[in-house]
């Protein structure tokens, strides 16, 4: 009996599909990044530069654009200072309460604010100590969780306290919301990936993540 012929055609198709997908994973994020940055520039400094042009006479456009960016950064920093003060937070809270009463505006403002919070989540990743796999929402199903610390819970009125991890199980693709779970230490399995890689997996809905999780593969212990 003659051996079966190798399916070169199918292997070539599979290889070509894999290469195209790899290329898209590089090109699409890069293209979106350029588009979003260009859009943000046109929306902010791009509108500020023409307004500043009359004040700088014959200065080159590149210098005026640079000055517009510096002014924008200074204004943003100043707004941040005001927002961090007690009085500033009160004023912003009152303004947001007014915006929440306007049907269309509250939808756009709320979505924009949630997007910015999601993009700035990287500043808070240092608060996540490690990534674990926990049984959620029921035994037999696994979910990624971020360990934020430990807590001792007493079981019953006279039972000895037991060590638990404080685990934040996020939603996807928006990792700014989720559930706080108290998981027994022995039931939290190290996911074996970094906090950054776990966030990428959650934001992408599982499209960008390693093929193997658990057992501490590629990472250390829980804490």
Residuewise pLDDT in 10s, the chain (223 residues): 555 555 566 678 888 888 887 787 778 778 878 887 788 778 777 778 788 878 777 778 788 888 888 888 888 888 888 777 777 778 888 888 888 888 887 787 777 776 666 556 555 555 688 999 999 999 989 999 999 999 999 877 777 888 999 999 998 887 778 899 999 999 999 999 998 889 888 888 888 888 889 876 444 456 6
CA distance 223 to 150: 10
**pTM, whole model, 2 decimals?**
0.51
CA distance 182 to 160: 16
CA-closest candidate to residue 71, choices 47, 93, 36, 103: 47
16, 54, 207 from 19: Cα distances, Å: 5, 51, 16
What CATH fold (topology level) applies to the domain 128-203?
SH3 type barrels. (2.30.30)
| Domain range annotation of the chain | 128-203
């Amino acid at each position: 009996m003659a051996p079966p012929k190798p399916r070169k055609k199918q292997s070539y198709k599979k290889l070509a599909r894999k290469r195209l997908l790899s290329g898209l994973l590089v090109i699409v994020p890069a293209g979106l990044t350029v588009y979003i940055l260009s859009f943000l520039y046109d929306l902010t400094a791009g509108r500020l530069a023409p307004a500043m042009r009359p004040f700088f006479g014959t200065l080159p456009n590149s210098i005026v654009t640079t000055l517009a960016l510096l002014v924008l950064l200074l204004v943003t920093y100043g707004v941040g200072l005001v927002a961090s003060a007690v009085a500033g937070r009160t004023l912003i809270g009152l303004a947001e309460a007014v915006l929440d009463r306007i049907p269309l505006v509250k939808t756009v403002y709320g979505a924009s604010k949630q997007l910015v919070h999601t993009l700035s989540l990287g500043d808070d990743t240092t608060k996540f100590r490690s990534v674990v796999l926990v049984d959620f929402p029921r035994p037999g199903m696994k979910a990624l969780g971020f360990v934020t610390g430990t807590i001792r819970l007493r079981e019953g009125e006279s039972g000895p306290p037991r060590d638990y991890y404080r685990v934040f199980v996020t939603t996807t693709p928006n990792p700014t919301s989720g559930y706080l779970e108290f998981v027994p230490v022995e039931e939290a399995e190290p996911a074996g990936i970094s906090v950054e890689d776990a966030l990428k997996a959650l934001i992408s809905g599982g499209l960008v993540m390693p093929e193997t999780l658990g057992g501490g593969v590629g990472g250390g212990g829980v804490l």
